[in-house]
Amino acid sequence: MGGVWLVLLLPLLGSLINGLFGRRLPKPWIGWVACGSVGLSLILSVRVLFDLLALPPEGRIFTQPLFDWIVVNDQGAPFSLLVDPLSTLMILVVTGVGFLIHVYSIGYMGQDPDYSRYFSWLNLFMFSMLLLVLADNFLLLFVGWELVGLCSYLLIGFWFSKPTAAAAAQKAFIVNRIGDFGFMIGLFLLFATFGTFDYLKIFEGAPEALPYGGALATAIALLLFAGAVGKSAQIPLYIWLPDAMEGPTPVSALIHAATMVTAGVYMVARAHVLYELAPVSMALVASIGAVTALMAASIALVNNDIKRVLAYSTISQLGYMFLAAGVGAFAAGMFHLTSQAFTKALLFLAAGSVMHALGGEETDMRKMGGLSRKLPWTWGIFLIGALSMSGIFPFVAFFSKDLILERVFISGNTALWIIGLFTVLLTAFYMLRAHFLTFHGRPRYGEKNPHESPPVMLWPMQGLAALTLFGGVLFLSFAGFAPLNEFLAPVFAGEIVLEQPAVLSEGALMATSLLVALLGIGIAWLVYMRGLQPAEALRRAFRPLYTLLDGKYYVDELYYALFVWPGKKISEFLATVFDLGLLDGIINGLARLIDRAGGALRRIESGYIRNYAAWVLLGALGVLIYWLMR
């Protein structure tokens, strides 16, 4: 476990090598450096896992101090790492999914002239994300938090010559900064309360320092959550994520689906001790999660851009994770995080494979269709992902989503449970809709000649498909066999587990959500497998609703009118009228007044200054003499 710092260092080295020398390296080397460093990180992460498993459950925690970072008078934050089941799960997910996506990128980005820049940034992202999850204190987590934001900014804007990509990158960074503003104040409050940023010290002292349900606990929990709302794209800050799809598709898969956007969930799970002390904030987390899940899913119903459907789906699924956390089911949230990482990465890579097949960056599903024969592997893999996302047994997301709904039901929040269940219906519908539109029906891609992706892209997709197919085993909590649950148990030891009510048994709940999912799939099949006609009819029948959903609830427009436009106007007013007109005017007017008063002094400019200097000297002497004579 002592080598955990290498997990962190290797991708950073890879990034530096490709960033500084990439342009001079032979192309295959670039891929080897990038994938090799992440691959080694993965191997080391597995070793960390086995080292951890060799210890008794309660001893599975290990801190590795590296050096003093911001430390003033022994206060502050050291650069040190924490290995426990939670961070180990995260580094496995990040390096595992990350490695597959790196390999995929060799094929996907193969023709890009900025190949080395791409891999340098992708490796930098890996380093940042690993730092985020391995940090042993809140401030160091914040470092990783901001650095993944930077990488997200850089990679969304990877094709920066495209104005939409550049604008999307900027939007992502700024919207995230708004959340981080809250997060930072949360950090100040933490430090003011505990005098440290250290997780273990804070969690240990929290029950004493923060009265249960008190304002302080609530404030801290909510301020930290503000950061999570930005990073994990929840209401009201989710607007950056759909635009983030301007980045290359593997980036969307890695950063904007599988890993970075889940950082908020990880942070809440990590700080679960604080959240458990603040029931009000828990309720808010759950509600925001549920509403976001529903709202994003509803937008995905009508969107025609395959990547944006997946993006809204990501937002929606992140909502589920927060819903889980909000009802105290942190482990269930982490399960869903893991299953999402597999399934959503899979879907994005499959979507990327379709785009690749259509020769570039085509994302409009209305220009796809009928690809199932041409791209059999991609078809099958996307279907696995879509079914998993819909919550169909035995795919991985079925288990995690089901567990969340079960825990919400047990918590007694019936309204939230119904929202969650209804969202299952929507999810199943839009996922299969996307599948049918893309792969079935009449081909609508014109003269193009689609071809299946090369092995270097297929192989990672197959790997993720296997994880999606068989990963469910990890999440089983059946008849005393619950590997992941047991593994995470020491972290969430304090988690409140309510007794299960007898009204609906575990099996009945499972059956309900499965039936709802099948219903959604059935509707999608009815509407889209019979061609586009019924969809047209539906659209006409629900014109106002369709317009609202198609316009994404006009939230972007609202924010523009409320914040961006007034901000611009105020800035312009201050810059021209106030600063140049008023403030400068006063000063210049004053100068003119003095100038006029001392008319005799008006000379050419250089003489002017000398005179003033002389007057200053004389004045000073005068004061001196006055004091001496007094």
Which residues are near other proteins by CB under 8 A? 67-73, 75, 139, 142-143, 146-147, 150, 153, 157, 160-161, 163, 165-167, 169-170, 173-174, 177-178, 180-181, 184-185, 187-189, 191-192, 567-568, 570-572, 574-576, 579, 583-584, 587, 591, 605, 608-609, 612-613, 616, 619-620, 623-624, 627, 630
Pair 130, 8: CB distance under 8 Å: yes
The amino acid sitting at 261 is V
Instruction: Kindly write down the DSSP assignment for every residue of 503-529, as one continuous string.
Output: SS-HHHHHHHHHHHHHHHHHHHHHHHT
| Residue among 64 and 500 whose Cβ is closer to other proteins | 64
Nearer to other proteins, 557 or 584 (CB): 584
Least CB distance to other proteins at residue 184 (A): 5
CB of 594 to other proteins, least distance (A): 9
Q: How far is the CB of 295 from other proteins (least distance, A)?
A: 25
What is the length of the chain? 630
Q: How far is the CB of 360 from other proteins (least distance, A)?
A: 18
Q: Which residue lies nearer to other proteins by CB, 19 or 534? A: 19
The encoded tokens of residue 339 equal: 């299953």
Count the helix, strand and coil residues of the chain and give each as a percent rounded to the nearest 5: 75, 5, 20
Whole-number Å distance between alpha carbons of 90 and 506: 28
What would the two tokens of residue 246 be? Answer: 């301007």
Return the number of the residue (79 or 348) whose C-beta is nearest other proteins: 79
Nearer to other proteins, 49 or 131 (CB): 131
The answer to whether the CB of 427 falls within 8 A of the CB of 389 is yes
Q: Which amino acid, one-letter code, is at 537?
A: A
| Residue closer to other proteins, measured from CB, 47 or 177 | 177
* Exposure string over 376-410, b if 16+ CB within 10 A, otherwise e: ebbbbbbbbbbbbbbbbeebbbbbbbbbbbbbbbb
Which C-beta is closer to other proteins: that of 19 or that of 279? Answer: 19
**Residue 55 or 624 having the CB closest to other proteins:** 624
For residue 153, the minimal CB distance to other proteins (Å) is 8
Nearest CA to 350 out of 244, 241, 453, 242 is that of: 453
Which structure tokens are listed for 105?
């990128």
As a whole number of angstroms, the distance between CA 300 and CA 323 comes to 19
How far is CA 186 from each of CA 192, 221, 259, 330, 400, rounded to the nearest angstrom? 10, 8, 23, 21, 30
Alpha-carbon distance of 153 to 611, in angstroms, equals 55
Which of 505/576 has CB closer to other proteins?
Answer: 576
Q: Do the beta carbons of residue 399 and residue 334 sit within 8 Å?
A: no
CA dist 334 and 341 (Å) reads 10
